[in-house]
Structure 1
C-alpha cells in the first residue's frame, strides 16, 4: 500500500467517523425535547473561544488549500459545536463535491440545511 492510498484510506475512515458522530448529534438534537437546551449550547466561554480559535485556524488553512478535507471536516465540526448551522453548510458542500461517492455526506448536508431552515435561532 503506497503512501497516497494510505492517506486516502485514513481520510475516508476519519471522515466516516466524523460523519457518524455529527449525524448522531444532529439526530439527537432534532428529537430532543425543546424545553431542555441541548448540551452543546451550554458551552463555557473558554470552550466557545477555543472553538472560535479552531475555526480561525481551519479558515487559514483553507485560504491556502481550499479543498483540504481535514480542514473542511474540522471547520464543519467546530461550527456544528457552536450551533452555527448556516456556517457549516458551505464546507459541507465542498466535502460533498470532493467525495460525491459518500452518501453519508450528502445526507448530513441535507440534514444541516433542513435543521438550519427550521431553526432560525442558529448563529449566522
Structure 2
C-alpha cells in the first residue's frame, strides 16, 4: 500500500473553489458599497486537513494510507490550527454565495488534474492564479 507522509492533519481550513473566489471578486468589483470594506470571500465551511485528504482519497478511489511524519510537524506555536472565514459581509453587500461545496470543488479539481492535456499546462514550480 502506498503511503503519504504528513505533518499534523488536525488543523482546519476554509477552502474555496477557484471559480467561487473569482466570482466573489467580480461581485465585489461591481459593488460600490464594498469600496473600503474588508470582506471575506469564504465558503463559511470549516474542515480539517485530514478530513479533506480522506475526501480526496475517496473521490479518487485510492487506498493510500496517510501517516504522521514527526519531521513534518511544525515547531510549537507555529501552526495555525484554525482558519475559518465568515462570508456574511459579502452575502449582505452583493448577494454572493459560493456555488461549490468542498466535495464538488475537489471533484472538479481532480477531474482537471487527471486530464493529460490539462496537466501539461500545470507549472508545479510556479505559483500563479
More strand by share: 2
More helix by share: 1
Q: Same fold (TM over 0.5)?
A: no
Alignment TM-score, normalising by the size of structure 1: 0.25
Alignment TM-score, normalising by the size of structure 2: 0.24
**Larger of the two Rg values belongs to structure:** 2
